[in-house]
Structure 1
Amino acid sequence: MSQLKQTSYEPLTEPAAIELALSLTIFTENAELSCREIGDGNLNLVFHIVDVKGGKGVIIKQALPYAKVVGESWPLTVKRAKIEADALKTFGQLAPDYVPKVYFTDDVLAVTVMEDLSHLLIARTGFINGETYPLISKHLGEYLAKTLFYTSDYGLGPAAKKEQVQKFINPELCKITEDLIFTDPYFDADTNEFEDSLRTDVEALWQDAELKFHVNVLKRSFLTEAEVLLHGDLHTGSIFAGNSDTKVIDPEFAFYGPAGFDIGQVFANLLFEVIANDSKRDHFIRHIKTVWSVFKDEFSRLWNTENKVLSAKTDTFLRYNLSKFFEDSIGFAGCELIRRTIGLAHVADLDSIEDEQIRLAAKRKTLELGKILIKQRKEITDVPSFIEKVHGVL
């Protein structure tokens, strides 16, 4: 494969993206390429390039040196593109069925060229449009089990894991998570955004000392517990889905942290549909149950067959770890529910509800459930007690 070497960074244009694609050996010499910029996120440019003759396509993703949601006043290092590329390669080796193929990366240009997934749809968009994706929860359970086990001390061995921890130090994007998930929603921060009708509810949340104590305990876990390599932003907008395929994208927030964080993100983003979509509520509750069931079974299998720390390979210690992961995931899910409701980056599952009263009612349920999950996570010891808390709010 051609290795394009750049000496300086500059944002790509559509013609430049085509030129980059042609410099690789992905397309034939007589390929006629079309390109459009399709990025709708906050941190990157994303180009979809297709050979109009042969139909083959690729995605080119480039990190921007600022957050689009704010502008150039929020600068960011483009070095995060290497973190993302390395994470995609790592996760692709561990769970190849659920991660797009990476064809080319360039650290200076901050680009990754990867598999075209345009035959699939962003899962969040699909859910809002009425899709249910029958296999997505099974696939996510397997993805979580493989990526979280094989990047742990027990899947890698302690020495190799320490090397990986160093490789995935990601302070700038971790700070975004630390601020937007664990800090800003709990006081009157400029980044917060919510309807005026929710102000009474939000101000009550800001005055909840017990809640803020538990959020700080969870934040300390996020800051200090380098258990596994996390995706770091595993919401349904970072997942492409179809009826038979699931692909996890966008791991630019990847770093070594507590395993329950990724699991909790998945739980929370399924819960948005549980709350917002009455007609398919039971379906999404089954998805939540399946994610944990498949994760638990597959992680346990790997623990018993692939464990590199022989002294740890006991059923008692396995149960301890699974219990910790579940408790953490419940708390982190609560944090995600709250921050997506009143923080900087919302979710369309809630915001797209046209009827104002129905939308506000859904958001109040989301805030209430978030508080319950954070405060009561130690009492929520299994999926039935988790779902019971959910039904209690609905």
Structure 2
Amino acid sequence: MALSTPAGYRALDGKSLPQYLLDLDDVRRLLGGKPEQWTVREVGDGNLNLVFIVEGPAGGVCVKQALPYVRAAGESWPMPLERAFFESSYYTAVAPYVGGLIPTIYNYSPTLYCTVMERLTPHVIQRREMIAGRRHPKASPDVAEYIARASFFTSDLAGAFERKMDMTAIFAKNQPPVRITIELIFADPYRTNPRNRWTSPQLDEVCADFHRDGPLKAAAARFGDKFLSEAQALIHGDLHTGSVMVTPTDTRVIDPEFVMMGPVGFDLGAYMGNLLLSWYSQPGHATAADDRKAMQAWILEQVTIFWETFRDRFLALWRSNANGDAYPASMFPAPSDVPFLEGARRAYVDSLFADMLGFGACKMIRRILGFAHNIDFEWIKDQDRRGAAETGALLMARTLLTHPEQFHSISDVVAAVPYFVRKPGAAGAPIRL
């Protein structure tokens, strides 16, 4: 059955895209030459959209177009085109604060739900680089800086509540991605659902155990409630290592179509959780020349750097830009007030740390027992090795969710990670390697 689409909308392809770009003066000049000299490649490998790279004699652009359905599922799962509007609006909202950590946007078409943006080159997806065992030391601190700036400056800590409520009014209509998030992350992995899949039979027992685990399900549901009810700031909503493009000297965050007003810890947890998933996947990509242990050690260093950079930058921004209606500076004019305000700030950031761990754990579980999986594990061809790696990640995630009292600092998290590993085919308790 054909899906209904707005008047004027059409899905672009290699033939129609050059003609569309020809009518955009700035883009035409950026590409140079004539349309017959332009090359068009469809490179989208995500779950939702069409993504094209267009290159001309003078330069290139990236074109992203929303489809009226979830691309990974097909027309049986409709998805409103308006998500492209919200993505474009998100870039506009955070651009003054994050600078060069996002791509430059050249054009947005409200008819085609299509965004033309900077062609990032020689950037590559961070997830793929980590699978290959390649390190990009700027990525984690840059992403931490990005989250700190984007979240702080769109919160009540930095501005008047009216501004945040205006943003809320805009982004509250981006509901279908929120529906996907609340179901695929906070519910489906803990219940029977035909969308779920996992490495079988290796994870059959673990999956059944998770479905029976009352404390785990209650903890996941609590974070689902936090996700829906805590509108702290404008959040990206899907900020994992597949949404970060890197070079040795530059980092860019992409794909914010899941944007919403929500808890800052959700973005933090998404990125941290994906670093941990990469850690557990590394033995599955090992070779005779590289056992990946050095890569694993480096990843744990990045987990620490990521959190500590975010914490320090968020606190620094708050100290120097306390212009919001929350914790107004005028309430704390005396030198004797400073320790109390600083204590409140640190308590606030400590709460973000706790949220990061819980949301990160939920993101880890959904990528193994839910609908959309990570290539970190999917590219491990040996199912026993993949299942062993995924089991370790699941056990770590369950501990983060059900025993948060064990983790008072990022050092506690890093110290716990190596405990939750299994050798391929092994049964019983996890072992430390």
Q: Which amino acid aligns with 1:245?
A: D
- Could you list the per-position Cα deviations for residues 83-108 of structure 1 after superposition, in whole angstroms to 9, with x for gaps in the alignment? 00111222222111210000000112
Instruction: Name 1:353's counterpart in structure 2.
Output: 380
TM-score norm. by structure 1 comes to 0.95
Task: Please tell me whether the aligned partners of residues 182 and 215 of structure 1 are also in contact (alpha carbons under 8 angstroms).
Answer: yes
Q: Which amino acid aligns with 1:377?
A: P
In structure 2, how many angstroms separate the alpha carbons of the residues matched to 1:40 and 1:309?
Answer: 40
Aligned mate of 2:176, from 172, 180, 192: 172
1:117 equivalenced with 2:107 (yes/no): no
Q: Would you say how many aligned residue pairs link Structure 1 and Structure 2?
A: 387
Which is greater in Rg?
2
Task: Please tell me whether the aligned partners of residues 191 and 211 of structure 2 are also in contact (alpha carbons under 8 angstroms).
Answer: yes
Instruction: Name 2:78's counterpart in structure 1.
Output: 75
Percent identity over paired residues: 32
CA apart distance, 1:377: 2.4
1:103 alignment partner, SS class: strand
- Could you list the per-position Cα deviations for residues 215-262 of structure 1 after superposition, in whole angstroms to 9, with x for gaps in the alignment? 111000001100011100011111111111111000000001110000
CA apart distance, 1:307: 1.3
1:184-195 paired onto structure 2 within 5 Å: 184-195=188-199
1:22 equivalenced with 2:30 (yes/no): no
In structure 2, how many angstroms separate the alpha carbons of the residues matched to 1:106 and 1:290?
Answer: 39
Q: Which amino acid aligns with 1:78?
A: L
CA apart distance, 1:378: 4.2
* Higher mean C-alpha displacement, 22-31 vs 93-102: 22-31
In structure 2, how many angstroms separate the alpha carbons of the residues matched to 1:99 and 1:159?
Answer: 26
Instruction: Name 2:351's counterpart in structure 1.
Output: 324
Task: Please tell me whether the aligned partners of residues 245 and 251 of structure 2 are also in contact (alpha carbons under 8 angstroms).
Answer: yes
CA apart distance, 1:7: 5.1
1:275 equivalenced with 2:280 (yes/no): yes
Instruction: Name 1:104's counterpart in structure 2.
Output: 107
In structure 2, how many angstroms separate the alpha carbons of the residues matched to 1:21 and 1:129?
Answer: 35
Aligned mate of 2:412, from 366, 385, 392: 385
2:15 alignment partner, SS class: helix
In structure 1, how many angstroms separate the alpha carbons of the residues matched to 2:84 and 2:265?
Answer: 24
Q: Which amino acid aligns with 2:41?
A: R
In structure 1, how many angstroms separate the alpha carbons of the residues matched to 2:191 and 2:199?
Answer: 16
CA apart distance, 1:392: 2.4
Task: Please tell me whether the aligned partners of residues 328 and 377 of structure 1 are also in contact (alpha carbons under 8 angstroms).
Answer: no
* Higher mean C-alpha displacement, 311-320 vs 368-377: 311-320
- Could you list the per-position Cα deviations for residues 269-319 of structure 1 after superposition, in whole angstroms to 9, with x for gaps in the alignment? 111121122421110001111111111111111101111137445212211
In structure 1, how many angstroms separate the alpha carbons of the residues matched to 2:348 and 2:328?
Answer: 11
CA apart distance, 1:354: 2.4
Task: Please tell me whether the aligned partners of residues 123 and 247 of structure 2 are also in contact (alpha carbons under 8 angstroms).
Answer: yes
Task: List runs of 5+ in structure 1 lacking aligned partners.
Answer: 1-5
Task: Please tell me whether the aligned partners of residues 190 and 217 of structure 2 are also in contact (alpha carbons under 8 angstroms).
Answer: yes
Task: Please tell me whether the aligned partners of residues 101 and 251 of structure 2 are also in contact (alpha carbons under 8 angstroms).
Answer: yes
Mark the CA change 1:185 to 1:19 in structure 2 (over 3 Å): closer, same or farther. Answer: same
Task: Please tell me whether the aligned partners of residues 327 and 378 of structure 1 are also in contact (alpha carbons under 8 angstroms).
Answer: no
1:206-225 paired onto structure 2 within 5 Å: 206-225=211-230
Q: Which amino acid aligns with 1:50?
A: E
Task: Please tell me whether the aligned partners of residues 84 and 253 of structure 1 are also in contact (alpha carbons under 8 angstroms).
Answer: yes
Task: Please tell me whether the aligned partners of residues 80 and 252 of structure 1 are also in contact (alpha carbons under 8 angstroms).
Answer: yes
Instruction: Name 2:160's counterpart in structure 1.
Output: 157
Give the 4+ runs in structure 1 shifted more than 4 A: none
TM-score norm. by structure 2 comes to 0.87
1:133 alignment partner, SS class: coil
Aligned mate of 1:181, from 182, 185, 190: 185
Q: Which amino acid aligns with 2:349?
A: L
Instruction: Name 1:3's counterpart in structure 2.
Output: none
Aligned mate of 1:40, from 39, 45, 49: 45
Task: List runs of 5+ in structure 2 lacking aligned partners.
Answer: 1-5, 283-291, 330-340, 422-433
1:35 alignment partner, SS class: strand
Instruction: Name 2:94's counterpart in structure 1.
Output: 91
1:154 alignment partner, SS class: coil
Mark the CA change 1:226 to 1:109 in structure 2 (over 3 Å): closer, same or farther. Answer: same
Task: Please tell me whether the aligned partners of residues 159 and 324 of structure 2 are also in contact (alpha carbons under 8 angstroms).
Answer: no
In structure 2, how many angstroms separate the alpha carbons of the residues matched to 1:81 and 1:30?
Answer: 29
Q: Which amino acid aligns with 1:21?
A: L
CA apart distance, 1:357: 2.0
CA apart distance, 1:43: 1.0
* Higher mean C-alpha displacement, 153-162 vs 61-70: 153-162
CA apart distance, 1:129: 1.4
